[in-house]
Structure 1
């Protein structure tokens, strides 16, 4: 549940926008699992034997209830239609009950931003923000479990050319997270002291014609484990974090007439660079490129039908390799989502 109240006002030439909110989450997990061993399967000639060739251990039960409440306040001030100051604060309290103990985590996080509209079509901005997230499964974590905390600094520019319908953005950021939870065995986790990611993100949106639109984006990340006292992985790249991500998307609209509505068709591609399978950087999971597509048809002025397809060519690709169990996990195959939407 998330409830918000916003109040806009202007006082002596200064525009204000005040936002206050409260959110509430109640999450309860009951889980029973059994771990065991089994022989390998020949992928070219699989022979399945069911329970007859599996040795299972004793069942393991997990129960946890987590209740969280958050209160937040944000103030946005606009001076002379050129300077925008954003200040925000949030207080969280999270109560966690397990079968053996109870925990309480509390945090006050802040954010502050400044935007300068140098020209009507050119803006520069800077932003600072903090984050807080308690552990999701304390009983599995080695040592004293601490909430995951983060700090991010960001600067950027937004430009909208005068002679074309387009918007270009460039951002640089520095993000630091502490107490990041990582799995080390099927039933054991630990927390990495500090992980830092610096990066650049570039995005462009352009209407090439009144019917054809295009969006392109590229991100370069420089991730590094700064502190890792348990395993000595300082200086390595964190697990599952790529250096390069890119995407291109285009859509074309065929205008309707007196007998039918608009028809929009889109096609795009996504690239995700290679990642390491563990924090020790022992081996890599390969990069992959996927193709997505969509089609949307206006049945009436207020009713439209859309079909979205991800991984159009149903490509096989690995997103995660579990080094301690010597197993790999494929990403999602072709997915088709049909949506019927009515708007007013």
Structure 2
């Protein structure tokens, strides 16, 4: 097994990865800018990478991003968490087309299990504390998913795929646009018999199925020469069969439990350009409604969370001969509702907050870039808080770029943490927000003879007042958690046919007692290569993902205990062939070497599995 891994690693290392010149991001400052202008650590996954590697779930690609740790409790559709630089899963803010989609019906984290790679233009991953721009939830970073906008004559596609575990998916896209209007509609139906959520290595054999229906709409119109109107809508309906924990032994065992998840979100916005574009104003209103119904033989629950957000942003640009200045002001009003009922209890609560942001940006001679931002959050349940962030980037010469940032993060206790979900839960009015401070420093080398770069970034984070929740109450942990490490990224594109990306993360994440935090491996690495063959129609893409040894906690009545999860390496291989201008066939093999591994203690993982399919596309 190790020999095969080494051979594939050598094969991929001998190839090269993709770099996108002037990659555009908006997450760092809510204003479009190239990646090279950004002092913060950011990674971009583009549509080409998703399509070349036949990505079904976005988490498959996120595993390749430095600083990210992914944990899934079973097969496809099982609860999936992402931790950025050792932060908790609910300390990552997730946006889809500008809408915050963290699920506040539970602990305000986003369940990546239901996020399909459906007509996505790019995924931006911003690492480090970003609360000064994005508020609560952005303690560890921000993941921003942007779907494709309609362009050109009306066109569409349909995709049919089938594979292991009786997994089937049917998807469609419909897009078009001109200078006045644009629209994009996409949808997908996915269902799978799945595997046993409880590990089969421990004698469990009952398969736990999953189904997902997703529908996206994105449209806009140019109402006048300087007024743009936009609307995005998203609906997700998922059904997941699950297994249960045996608290006598702390293991996961077969069970007929299941959960139904639904999320509806949308945003309407208007953007006004004045003074020849030097003064931009945008106002938007977004709504997210998340619902999770859980059923078992002994316990049923219904959790409903709603979030409504009104925001206004103003950008003012000042141009001089040597410099460009930007002044940004943001005002936000957010209201949240939490409505929970179960076999044993009922909880109904709400909260609201107001955020005010001011940011200054400087572009000096296209060589030095500086931003500084401050935010004031006014809360109805907690003390008002202030956060800040600054970033700096500089071209030292034509090849070397320096970038650094420092920021603070704040994570307000969720309504779930404050009031719990059982009749025995004791509210804690003294529960304080979690907070952190993150500093990173990176050096990037750009190759002069090929399109690509290598980046090395050091980071250090101090976390205070981490919230710990059990069946009876929630409390703030004493002391400071220390997280520090290194991120290495290589992005190269030596020819028009050859792409390669590589990443490595060293993450030393310890709590106040100097114990490594659970589900955060010290070493994580990834390689991906994609080669278009000489016929110009066939592309072969392959990847390796290494996850080092990590720890987990087993919860049992006899007492909790700490366990070690072994390291593992996963390989995948994808082939696409353009049969004609309108027909593409594809195949993919995951876990190519049938690695036996465990991401979360007691839960199963998929063995070697495959997908084959066909995509039909064309103008209408």
Residues 208 and 214, structure 1, Cα contact 8 Å, conserved in 2: no
Residues 214 and 249, structure 1, Cα contact 8 Å, conserved in 2: yes
Tell whether 2:486 aligns with 1:177. Answer: no
Structure 2: any 5+ residue segments left out of the alignment?
A: 1-285, 287-310, 421-426, 555-559
TM-score of the pair, normalised by structure 1: 0.70
| CA distance in structure 2 between the partners assigned to 1:176 and 1:306 by the alignment | 49
| CA distance in structure 1 between the partners assigned to 2:326 and 2:618 by the alignment | 31
| CA distance in structure 2 between the partners assigned to 1:299 and 1:290 by the alignment | 30
Give the structure with the larger strand fraction: 1
CA offsets 1:207-258 (integer angstroms, 9 cap, x no match): 14320100000000111223xxxxxxx121122221111111112235888x
Tell whether 2:430 aligns with 1:144. Answer: yes
| CA distance in structure 2 between the partners assigned to 1:155 and 1:66 by the alignment | 37
| CA distance in structure 1 between the partners assigned to 2:595 and 2:364 by the alignment | 51
Identify the residue that residue 111 of structure 1 maps to in structure 2.
389
CA offsets 1:167-193 (integer angstroms, 9 cap, x no match): 11110011111111233x345433223
Larger radius of gyration: 1
* Secondary structure of 1:138 counterpart: helix
CA 1:290/1:91 → structure 2, altered by over 3 Å: closer, same or farther? farther
| CA distance in structure 1 between the partners assigned to 2:374 and 2:584 by the alignment | 41
Q: CA RMSD in A?
A: 3.8
Q: Structure 1 residue 274: deviation in Å?
A: 2.3
| CA distance in structure 1 between the partners assigned to 2:589 and 2:377 by the alignment | 36
Identify the residue that residue 516 of structure 2 maps to in structure 1.
237
Residues 247 and 271, structure 1, Cα contact 8 Å, conserved in 2: yes
Answer 1 or 2: higher relative contact order, Cα 8 Å, separation at least 6.
2
| CA distance in structure 2 between the partners assigned to 1:6 and 1:307 by the alignment | 44
Q: Structure 1 residue 72: deviation in Å?
A: 2.2
| CA distance in structure 2 between the partners assigned to 1:10 and 1:127 by the alignment | 25
| CA distance in structure 2 between the partners assigned to 1:299 and 1:90 by the alignment | 53
Identify the residue that residue 82 of structure 1 maps to in structure 2.
367
Identify the residue that residue 43 of structure 1 maps to in structure 2.
none
Structure 1: any 5+ residue segments left out of the alignment?
A: 35-58, 96-102, 227-233, 322-327
| CA distance in structure 2 between the partners assigned to 1:202 and 1:255 by the alignment | 31
Matches within 5 A, 1:135-284: 135-136=413-414, 137-140=417-420, 144-183=430-469, 185-193=470-478, 194-226=480-512, 234-253=513-532, 264-278=539-553, 282-284=562-564
Identify the residue that residue 130 of structure 1 maps to in structure 2.
408
CA 1:336/1:74 → structure 2, altered by over 3 Å: closer, same or farther? farther
TM-score of the pair, normalised by structure 2: 0.41
* Secondary structure of 1:120 counterpart: coil
Residues 489 and 501, structure 2, Cα contact 8 Å, conserved in 1: yes
Give the structure with the larger helix fraction: 2
* Count of residues in correspondence between the two structures: 293
CA 1:144/1:274 → structure 2, altered by over 3 Å: closer, same or farther? farther
